[in-house]
Amino acid sequence: MLSKHPEKCRWPHGHTRTIEVVVSAAELDSRDMVVDFKALKLALGETVERYDHRMAINSADPLRSSIESIHPDSTIVYEGVDPTTEVMAQVLFEAIAGILDVGYQHETYAIPPGRVRLERVRVWETPTSWAEFAV
Protein backbone atom coordinates (compact mmCIF):
# COMPACT_ATOMS: atom_id res chain seq x y z
CA MET A 1 0.00 0.00 0.00
CA LEU A 2 1.35 3.37 -0.97
CA SER A 3 -0.22 5.88 1.41
CA LYS A 4 1.24 8.81 -0.53
CA HIS A 5 -0.11 7.64 -3.91
CA PRO A 6 -3.02 9.65 -5.39
CA GLU A 7 -4.75 6.71 -7.10
CA LYS A 8 -5.39 2.95 -6.83
CA CYS A 9 -1.96 2.04 -5.42
CA ARG A 10 -3.04 3.72 -2.18
CA TRP A 11 -5.34 0.77 -1.41
CA PRO A 12 -4.44 -2.85 -0.64
CA HIS A 13 -3.22 -4.55 -3.78
CA GLY A 14 -0.71 -7.18 -4.75
CA HIS A 15 2.12 -7.88 -7.13
CA THR A 16 3.96 -10.98 -8.16
CA ARG A 17 7.46 -9.71 -7.57
CA THR A 18 10.72 -11.15 -8.76
CA ILE A 19 13.95 -10.27 -7.00
CA GLU A 20 17.11 -10.32 -9.11
CA VAL A 21 20.46 -10.34 -7.28
CA VAL A 22 23.71 -9.71 -9.16
CA VAL A 23 26.97 -10.63 -7.44
CA SER A 24 30.63 -10.58 -8.40
CA ALA A 25 33.96 -11.78 -7.06
CA ALA A 26 37.58 -10.94 -7.74
CA GLU A 27 38.18 -14.56 -8.73
CA LEU A 28 36.33 -17.81 -9.12
CA ASP A 29 36.25 -20.24 -6.21
CA SER A 30 37.64 -23.80 -6.13
CA ARG A 31 34.52 -25.00 -8.02
CA ASP A 32 35.04 -22.36 -10.74
CA MET A 33 32.08 -20.29 -9.56
CA VAL A 34 31.55 -16.77 -8.26
CA VAL A 35 29.15 -18.34 -5.78
CA ASP A 36 27.09 -21.51 -5.75
CA PHE A 37 23.53 -20.37 -6.43
CA LYS A 38 22.22 -22.91 -3.92
CA ALA A 39 24.40 -21.33 -1.22
CA LEU A 40 23.17 -17.88 -2.22
CA LYS A 41 19.55 -19.03 -2.14
CA LEU A 42 20.01 -20.56 1.32
CA ALA A 43 21.83 -17.49 2.64
CA LEU A 44 19.12 -15.11 1.41
CA GLY A 45 16.14 -17.37 2.03
CA GLU A 46 14.87 -15.86 5.27
CA THR A 47 15.36 -12.29 4.03
CA VAL A 48 13.39 -12.92 0.83
CA GLU A 49 10.77 -15.28 2.29
CA ARG A 50 9.53 -12.70 4.77
CA TYR A 51 7.86 -10.90 1.85
CA ASP A 52 5.76 -13.89 0.82
CA HIS A 53 2.03 -13.32 1.40
CA ARG A 54 2.58 -10.19 3.48
CA MET A 55 1.49 -6.63 3.00
CA ALA A 56 4.16 -3.96 2.81
CA ILE A 57 2.99 -0.76 4.46
CA ASN A 58 4.25 2.65 5.58
CA SER A 59 4.41 2.90 9.40
CA ALA A 60 2.35 6.10 9.17
CA ASP A 61 -0.41 4.62 6.99
CA PRO A 62 -3.78 5.31 8.67
CA LEU A 63 -5.01 1.79 7.78
CA ARG A 64 -2.07 0.04 9.44
CA SER A 65 -3.66 -0.56 12.85
CA SER A 66 -6.89 -1.82 11.29
CA ILE A 67 -5.07 -4.24 9.02
CA GLU A 68 -2.85 -5.51 11.83
CA SER A 69 -5.83 -5.94 14.17
CA ILE A 70 -7.52 -8.21 11.64
CA HIS A 71 -4.37 -9.99 10.44
CA PRO A 72 -1.61 -9.83 13.07
CA ASP A 73 1.89 -10.45 11.71
CA SER A 74 0.67 -9.93 8.15
CA THR A 75 2.60 -6.72 7.47
CA ILE A 76 6.11 -5.66 6.66
CA VAL A 77 6.39 -2.14 8.03
CA TYR A 78 8.56 0.46 6.35
CA GLU A 79 9.41 3.19 8.83
CA GLY A 80 8.17 6.55 7.50
CA VAL A 81 8.38 5.63 3.81
CA ASP A 82 6.03 4.04 1.35
CA PRO A 83 7.07 0.54 0.28
CA THR A 84 7.66 1.45 -3.34
CA THR A 85 9.54 -0.99 -5.52
CA GLU A 86 12.48 1.43 -5.32
CA VAL A 87 12.46 1.38 -1.51
CA MET A 88 12.17 -2.42 -1.49
CA ALA A 89 15.17 -2.69 -3.80
CA GLN A 90 17.22 -0.48 -1.47
CA VAL A 91 16.16 -2.31 1.70
CA LEU A 92 16.87 -5.70 0.12
CA PHE A 93 20.23 -4.46 -1.18
CA GLU A 94 21.30 -3.37 2.29
CA ALA A 95 20.15 -6.63 3.90
CA ILE A 96 21.81 -8.84 1.28
CA ALA A 97 25.05 -6.83 1.36
CA GLY A 98 25.14 -7.35 5.13
CA ILE A 99 24.70 -11.10 4.75
CA LEU A 100 27.48 -11.33 2.17
CA ASP A 101 29.80 -9.19 4.30
CA VAL A 102 29.59 -11.60 7.26
CA GLY A 103 29.38 -14.72 5.09
CA TYR A 104 27.15 -17.75 5.34
CA GLN A 105 27.80 -21.23 6.65
CA HIS A 106 25.60 -24.28 6.04
CA GLU A 107 26.47 -27.94 6.56
CA THR A 108 27.09 -28.33 2.82
CA TYR A 109 27.34 -24.78 1.45
CA ALA A 110 29.36 -21.76 2.47
CA ILE A 111 29.96 -18.22 1.35
CA PRO A 112 33.17 -16.90 2.94
CA PRO A 113 32.85 -13.44 4.53
CA GLY A 114 33.44 -10.63 2.05
CA ARG A 115 34.40 -12.90 -0.88
CA VAL A 116 31.27 -12.17 -2.91
CA ARG A 117 30.36 -8.57 -3.68
CA LEU A 118 26.78 -7.46 -4.22
CA GLU A 119 26.54 -5.43 -7.44
CA ARG A 120 22.83 -4.69 -7.57
CA VAL A 121 19.34 -5.75 -6.57
CA ARG A 122 16.54 -5.41 -9.09
CA VAL A 123 12.94 -5.85 -7.94
CA TRP A 124 10.42 -6.61 -10.66
CA GLU A 125 6.90 -5.43 -9.83
CA THR A 126 5.42 -6.76 -13.07
CA PRO A 127 7.02 -8.42 -16.12
CA THR A 128 7.68 -4.95 -17.56
CA SER A 129 8.24 -2.73 -14.49
CA TRP A 130 11.22 -2.84 -12.17
CA ALA A 131 13.46 -0.75 -9.95
CA GLU A 132 17.11 -1.30 -9.19
CA PHE A 133 19.41 -0.31 -6.37
CA ALA A 134 23.19 -0.46 -6.73
CA VAL A 135 26.24 1.27 -5.32
Q: DSSP secondary-structure letter at 101?
A: H
Q: Whole-prediction pTM value?
A: 0.87
Number of domains in the chain: 1
Percentage above 90 pLDDT, the chain? 79
pLDDT value for 10: 75
The better pLDDT of the pair 5, 39 is held by 39
Close Cβ partners of 89 (under 8 Å, ≥ 6 residues apart): 121, 122, 123, 131, 132, 133
Q: CATH number of the domain that 115 lies in?
A: 3.30.479.10
Residue 130 domain-assigned?
yes
What is the extent of the structural domain holding 16?
8-49+83-134
Q: Do the strands 117-126 and 110-111 form a parallel or antiparallel pair, or are they unpaired?
A: unpaired
pLDDT band for position 18 (cuts 50, 70, 90): very high
Residue 40 domain-assigned?
yes
Whether residue 1 has pLDDT greater than 70: no
Residue 63 domain-assigned?
no
Task: Give the angle subtended at the CA of 121 by the CAs of 118 and 126, to the nearest 5°.
Answer: 160
Residue 110 domain-assigned?
yes
Residue 87 domain-assigned?
yes
